[in-house]
Amino acid sequence: MPDYANEPKIDFAVFKNKYAKTDRHPSEVGKIEFTREFLKVMVDRAKTGTMPVLRVAMWERTSKAGMPYKNFRLELEQKKAQEPEPQVVEEESGGDDGLPF
């Protein structure tokens, strides 16, 4: 299982849009502030040829003022660890192994 403890994370909240007048306005709004550390890791991954993939999680919360909101977390998806390829163990025959010495 990937270890996300050392990966940069961004938390942000989405609240009910109290300024919405019609159904064309968004029902919920929020903002995300990307940290330099988070952006640096994303750029470093992109430079290696791997496009960064973000994982998102959401919790429904209530503010101290009693306003319900959704709290989100963005994390960079970790690369899946590749299983090491099994190494072929050749039997020693005492014969010619192809080595020059």
- Residue 16's pLDDT is 92
- pTM reported for the whole predicted model: 0.64
Q: Kindly write down the DSSP assignment for every residue of 27-91, as one continuous string.
A: SEEE-----HHHHHHHHHHHHTT----EEEEEEEEE-TTS-EEEEEEEEEPPPPPPPPPPPPPPP
The arithmetic mean of pLDDT across residues 6-15, rounded, is 89
The domain locations on the chain are 9-76
Does the structure show a pLDDT above 60 at 56? yes
